[in-house]
Chain A
């Protein structure tokens, strides 16, 4: 690890001030990804601002029936929180599908949103990577890309966002509350993460001098009809090859509203609203689910080692929808 200055702050305003004033500064809370990357010499912040002293470790009900997750609540505390378990089981399941208990006990909700890709090349400073070092090239496009994106990639980067939690948050249409020098704003979840485009070094639309203070979950948690499926290389403690979060609003056997978000397949949680709309007012059955899965994978593009993800994604979407609709075969 390279040297850095260390400052501890007690409130968000000071945190914003510190990060605005300091060069190459980073917030630290759980630290589970930042320190990992600092030790690999991938991230080299000169200033570290410890935000764990800010009072953002809470979960509370919102007036609109939603739930607010403080930025500093750990992934474990979120997943096992009674309100989350009961009203947002999709979120709980997704969180518990990620990482390990030890990591979830330390990693925070805001930190989960900000974790970096697990692309082999991003992690290895001996190889070119546009995300780590803009302009150096992408080693994955013609390299070992089994873990990489099939949606929304660019010629500059085919990395994926590794989070499970974010896949569920995207499906739930969460909002990310942030504070910056110009005050507070909230970012709809689908706008929070970016596609790589020409600037893969930017993972999110959060400004450098902003801090995430909380995440709001809307009232509808799709607690009745949901599914989270995670395909991965071992049964636990590994990142998704393809994951699927599904939430359905059903009336009888009819679908009123569908949310389908894929993880491990793009630079951000991958949602296809056109496909979701296709299911509106349709019967919940395999035929319709197959059809919607076809729509979702239509625009997928595979590379040498990850082509299988396209068919795996298609089948997983069908399976997740069947599970969410509680259709036994």
Chain B
């Protein structure tokens, strides 16, 4: 077929816009008279605002208004109104609501002025006096106050235990009991959060917001400000990275909207880089792993306990301890997840939330166990390979992890590994090889899509999803083009607009499977309609034909059995005097079918590190990541997704750490020179191997989302390699130089 696009390494359809600077991000939309809002951040962790003096700022010509809790008109007062689609249980933070300070760097004022520079200056003139209350921000100091990590939240599975861990553990010949820790992290997408709110003549709002879900932002604004959804349109055609940071509406959206409504003018609010550390992070966890095994390496007992942190006002939960039962065939598993309420902003889903950290500890512990058993780490995993998800007692929809191990190991050269730590050296560099497994969920969520086929042969598909760099525009285009048999150039994909049909927030690696399938289905409806119309043409060979009997390719309908019988789309549209064909589709996951299976992506990650024998300098030298991600829709963008995930894993393993100064209850390294993200010079050679098996349970396009799986397991593989290099087990992330010094 000439129109065979799915799975091919196609260039991004939005590539040209991105390399020429014409792709416009949230803060880049302009209309004359647009005002600039600058946020003033609080400087204490807990207490109340005694006094806030805005007179000096307001005295400046060109400063239009300063909004504080004192002069902010009261909006919706029910907590429920502030609940967005991704809100954890609790009472969401309400900006400028009252004098209460709930976390450090809380927004306390918005300065609105005619120019950005003036607003920035005026913001320095706002003086705030506080009444300081004692805060607590240190997880380790308050474990005795921990509460159960439970509650309802989309995607969250309250951990449950099975079998009898205690007994099985005490009966295990080989036992391991270790504690793991990792620091907090912040998403830090390159584009800082911003909202540009255009106040239209009729009082309606056109809002550009940095969001992973335009419908979520629209819902939030309409609820909070009591506006009809018809009066609120939210757009985010391009999102400069998000990684979870834009799942929930952040305060820039509230503040810009508030100002626009009050001033009846258009307002833009762009946060600063330090303010990107003010609204949610990957929470710290302290994890305890107990593994019990027989001498031949069979796991008898696993206990995975985690303490994590949440805010005082919301109960943020994520799946930290739920992975062992999916990965390993073990009858006695204990899973415990506890939370401590601290005076900080609610943590926020960050790429592979829970999985990146929980699997890190689990897979590090598995590595430790392999040394105790004197067993190859990969062999240990194969020995305990799960053919079903023990926690749910269900088979996997698809699972190619075994092949991932084989292919990844072959690519890496794992069989040449000397099991002895400190056995490889080059110059001053100790060389180590480590591996780990990754696992993540393969989700499908409801999604709607629409499509319009025009007489000129072009097709427009749309869904209110987002492309945060994931390639959504491109795969929507590919799926539509392939389904209907069009060249890519004749398909246009629209997204990031609340006027489009509903799609869930773009997160959890669900978009390809959800929106992708919806696009496929709506295009099938167009195809069906075209065929039906073709059948109505006089003497049509397709009279009464079923879609199964024909092929849609090369802008034609062709008979499967007799390819000489065909009719072009143009001919059909012309003969039937059709201008447009419009269709809509609503995808509802077949839960009956899906619930019979555990649906996951998997990975096998192999890492080589170099550690300077004297100085502890770590260089990640080589990574092989073999991925079980279902059918790959676009080899090029999928490869980039995994590359990115691996880079995140490296960065998590050796660089990233949002350090909370507990004296101030404030993340103190809040900018990009002090919070380190990997740079190009840190990069190893990265090989990505896809072990494809279309997963028709998860989605009709066979895809399992791969936005997260690339990251999971990487930090463990690196930590394990550091041990193999140095003989020193580092049980906390990031593994900075001093930790690797031996």
Contacts and interface: CB of A to CB of B under 8 A. Distances in A.
A–B direct touch in complex (beta carbons closer than 8 A): yes
Nearest to A307: B738
A143 interface: yes
B614 A315 contact: yes
B19 to A, nearest CB: 19
A329 B425 CA distance: 13
B603 to A, nearest CB: 25
Contacts of A120: 661, 668-669, 674
A144 B737 contact: no
Contact of B682 (A144, A235, A312, A329): A235
Contacts of B71: none
Interface string A1-44: 11100000000000000000000000000000000000101000
A318 B614 contact: yes
A175 interface: no
Interface in A94-151: 118, 120-121, 123-124, 126-127, 139, 142-144
B615 A315 contact: yes
Interface in B96-140: 117, 120-121, 124
A290 B733 CA distance: 31
A312 B655 contact: no
A233 B661 contact: no
A276 to B, nearest CB: 21
Contact of A231 (B617, B666, B682): B617
B681 interface: yes
Contacts of A329: 428
Q: Is the interface of B mostly helix, strand, loop or mixed?
A: loop
Given A1-B120, A118-B674, A319-B615, A231 B669 contact: no
A235 B679 contact: yes
Q: State which size class the interface on A falls in.
A: 20 to 34
B496 to A, nearest CB: 31
B43 A126 contact: yes
A312 B615 contact: yes
A237 B673 CA distance: 8
Given A312-B737, A312-B741, A318-B614, A143 B668 contact: yes
A241 B738 CA distance: 10
Given A235-B679, A315-B614, A118 B673 contact: yes
B43 A311 contact: no
A58 interface: no
A241 B121 contact: no
A144 B669 contact: yes
B463 to A, nearest CB: 39
A238 interface: yes
B668 A234 contact: no
A234 B666 contact: no
Contact of B676 (A123, A233, A311): A233
Contact of A234 (B117, B669, B678): B678
Interface string B661-685: 1011010111101101011111000
Given A126-B664, A319-B615, A308 B676 contact: no
Contacts of B117: 1
B661 A3 contact: no
A119 B681 CA distance: 24
B116 to A, nearest CB: 10
Nearest to B619: A235
Contact of A312 (B663, B676, B681, B738): B738
B408 interface: no
20 contacts: A2-B124, A120-B669, A124-B274, A124-B666, A126-B41, A127-B666, A139-B663, A143-B668, A233-B655, A233-B736, A234-B654, A234-B679, A235-B619, A236-B682, A237-B679, A237-B681, A238-B676, A312-B616, A319-B614, A329-B428
- The 5 A-B residue pairs whose C-beta atoms are closest, nearest first, are A308-B738, A126-B43, A236-B681, A235-B681, A315-B614
Interface of A: 1-3, 39, 41, 118, 120-121, 123-124, 126-127, 139, 142-144, 231, 233-239, 241, 308, 311-312, 315-316, 318-319, 329
Given A123-B674, A126-B41, A231-B737, 11 more contacts: A118-B673, A126-B43, A144-B659, A144-B668, A144-B669, A236-B679, A236-B681, A238-B673, A315-B614, A315-B741, A329-B428
